Structure 1
């Protein structure tokens, strides 16, 4: 029993060797982290050059100092629209795809962060080996096993030539010191890409809300236009009947009869077009809310089927200042995040030109028999730093730096273009809202004029100084004027939706 005890006593000093070695690794790691630097350009948020106020007069009222309303669609005061927006936010597949891409970007960032941490893996193996006797003796210049004059040598080789069992368990560890910031720049790039995906999702949400509002307004406008088209068609049909009577009495000619017939056909032709508009807008709402066309939720389907007037436009549309637009619009924020990611990518490419220092180590137990595997005498270990220095790559690394810098310049230009496009869109929508409001005011006044003419025609007919045909013409003229007013109000509402979207409202 003494030999095993002596083996154990001989192996005891090994912990004294292993522990200082680990301390050396720790000291090297601390020194590397303390002396490390981050190469490549540092990112600085851009300061876009934007005007102090909008040029269009519509943006110079008191509302210009207020921030845009996040839940801007609620300003229309329509519960059905509120429900459609809520259902679309929860069920639109295209928007939910952007949420899934956010999860992917988060996982990629986590993977990059893990690259800067130490890694530890465990392993266990068993192998069965046998040396080729003929090849071994030929290489040593010896004869066959057991040859005369070489009993000891042959016996030893014969033992080695037998099959061997090898059992091994252990741990492998490695840690890249990241002295020049390659991993840190990669983490910075992944975080910026995550931010860009977040902004892309917000932009998709803003677009979704605008699309739902547009489709809903088109449904309501189509229903209002169809109601007036029915009134117009009825008036034209009565006018045709009266013209036929007048023609029979010799008070009208064939030309008047043809004109009355053509007016009726034109009025009747509106109905299929308006039905198509309502059906297509309803189908669009179903898809936007994540449902197949024709399968809109029962409550929403019933609410949409019942004709309702267009929502009223708020007296004031809150308008943010140009400087606030650059911070509110998600597409601008996405472009800024992409610029940040491109800047960090340049740092990653520059860091590729510098050496990599990795600390690695291995410790475990190795034995020819399984029962002896746990004995300390069978412990093995190795540790130390490894340095990798790029000496020649045929210009590949330098080309990578040039490519990253070109992408950074492209991202900077894309950010500037996004700012200019946003400013143009807001200015365009302000001008459209102002001019279309003027048009709608004139159309509303025309409705009043047409209503007055109809009242006068009815009074004249009641007093016996006018005819019934003039009354039907007045009814038709009023219906046509109301249709123009509906179209004008629809356009103003669509302008308001586009303006809210251009200002980046709704994504917070």
Structure 2
């Protein structure tokens, strides 16, 4: 019995001490203008010696006489597309950046977010309102127990009211912090839109040039096979060749002719896409004439560093800003659990005539301080805070996924560039071999040891090798674009953004 009472006394004393401690903390926060919720810290960059898996990508990748070298000193500029040395590419990107609707939408979204942030900052200023009223009323003294007859009169009022909500727990400051972070997210979204648009334009221009070069090479092959058909048909007429040889060559020619419309369709689609990216109708925009010969392969590439990648990619920065928004909203939900204080003051004049409206007899004023404390809301405020914490956990998971996807993209692109160099090197050797074979056949033809048909066959093989080489060149250029985009496209560089 005595032990039980003693324990109860200790429990009561402990509860009182905790209550006094909480009250003291509340008073300390009230006088020091504390801010509830966690202070946001940007997630640390992943620690990795290199990004790609397995053997590291070579520092220098040489293929077909064009080498690409990775350098720690190389940086990406905002106009990274100029490193391809093509005036046509530069013009196409400029047209898109000026008139692209998606980019205009992202710019408007950023302006909207900035205006929302400025609107949210108004809560830290006194809210002042003025009002003027004019009415005609009938008043019955019976309402106050008087037997006097009713009175009809005019009433004119002029008043002003000032209110100010004390941000004791920092809920409003956290709300403004969330709005600022949301503005940062929109700013990074705009940078991502710039990067995506410029990369799409450059990639499409490379494809447009490659399709044009392939069409030209294929038509040359068709002409050569046509000559083979003519020569073989003459041999058949002379009785020195079978008619099946004529049919075989005609089949090859028809097969080649069937590939031209498909290439022309792809080139037309690329041109239409360029028009759409530039904010124009297909009939209103003419793609500039460009060949792969006019596009230079960038020789020096920036090396991907994990600690810099998370600061350079706009999608990672956007996910980080969204995480900041979620963190600030935890503070808002936490502050809602505590009492709020609002100061108000008002004053004005009222009279039966406009001429006497400002007389001292009709003057009135008031001043008040309102304290509202949440006592019972059925768990709403508590679970709103829990929901804010869950939203933060979700935003953190999204951020981690964006980072992983970014590193995956960079790793894929680095390995693709390495494989492109190997493929193009083989294509270049095949092209050189076919050109040498053609040279030897031409010498044998001049010596009279082979017929003209052998020259046509060797030349067709050279054109086939050239088409494969053109495709390899285009792929290497496009994977270089992909690397620039994967590294952030220079929209931030060494700055903090």
TM-score tier after normalising by the smaller chain length: 0.7 to 0.9
Cα distance in 1 for partners of 2:140, 2:167 equals 46
Match status 1:166 vs 2:146: no
Residues 240 and 257 in structure 1, CA contact (< 8 A), matched pair in contact too: yes
Cα 1:404–1:59 change in 2 (3 A) is farther
Partner of 1:58: 57
Alpha-carbon distance, 1:58 to partner: 2.6
Q: Deviations over 1:215-239 (max 9, x none)?
A: 1001110111111011100011111
Structure 2 unaligned residues grouped into runs of 5+: 1-27, 61-68, 493-497
Aligned position for 2:461: 477
CA distance in 2, matches of 1:52, 1:64: 16
Distance 1:423 1:340, change over 3 A: same
Question: Contact conserved, 2:140 with 2:151, CA < 8 A, in 1?
Answer: no
Map of 2:139 onto structure 1: 131
Match for residue 35 of structure 1? 32
Match of 1:113? 121
Cα distance between partner residues in 2 of 1:104 and 1:379? 43
**Alpha-carbon distance, 1:74 to partner:** 0.8
Q: CA deviation at 1:132?
A: 5.0
Structure 1 runs of 4+ off > 4 angstroms? 31-34, 59-62
Asked whether the equivalents of residues 66 and 320 of structure 1 are also in contact (C-alpha less than 8 Å), the reply is: no
Correspondence 1:494 to 2:494: no
Match runs of 1:82-231 below 5 Å: 82-132=90-140, 136=142, 140=145, 154=147, 157-158=148-149, 161-231=150-220
Gaps of 5+ in 1: 1-30, 141-152
- Provide the aligned length of Structure 1 versus Structure 2: 454
Shift of 1:67: 4.5
Q: Distance in 2 between the 1:53 and 1:234 partners?
A: 51
Deviation digits for residues 239-264 of structure 1 (CA, Å, limit 9, x no counterpart): 11122222223333243222211110
Please say if residues 129 and 164 of structure 1, whose CA atoms lie closer than 8 Å, have aligned partners that are also in contact: yes
| TM-score, length-scaled by structure 2 | 0.88
Q: Deviations over 1:430-481 (max 9, x none)?
A: 0000001110111111111111111111111121111111111111111111
| Partner Cα distance (2:413, 2:291) in 1 | 29
Q: Max radius of gyration: which structure?
A: 1
Q: Determine the structure 2 residue equivalent to 1:434.
A: 418
Aligned match of 1:421 in 381, 401, 405? 405
CA distance in 1, matches of 2:413, 2:29: 56
1:341-387 Cα offsets, whole Å, 9 max, x none, are 00001111111111110001111111122222112232110011111
Structure 1 counterpart SS, 2:338 = coil
- Indicate the SS of the match to 2:282: coil
Alpha-carbon separation, structure 2, partners of 1:398 and 1:181: 17
- Taking a change above 3 Å as real, the CA distance of residues 426 and 398 of structure 1, as seen in their structure-2 partners, is same
Matches within 5 A, 1:6-85: 34-55=31-52, 57-58=56-57, 60=59, 63-70=70-77, 71-85=79-93
Post-superposition shift, 1:84? 1.2
Indicate the larger mover: 327-336 or 37-46. Answer: 37-46
1:6 matched residue in structure 2: none
Deviations along 1:273-299, one digit per CA (max 9) or x if unpaired, are 1111211111111111111112116xx
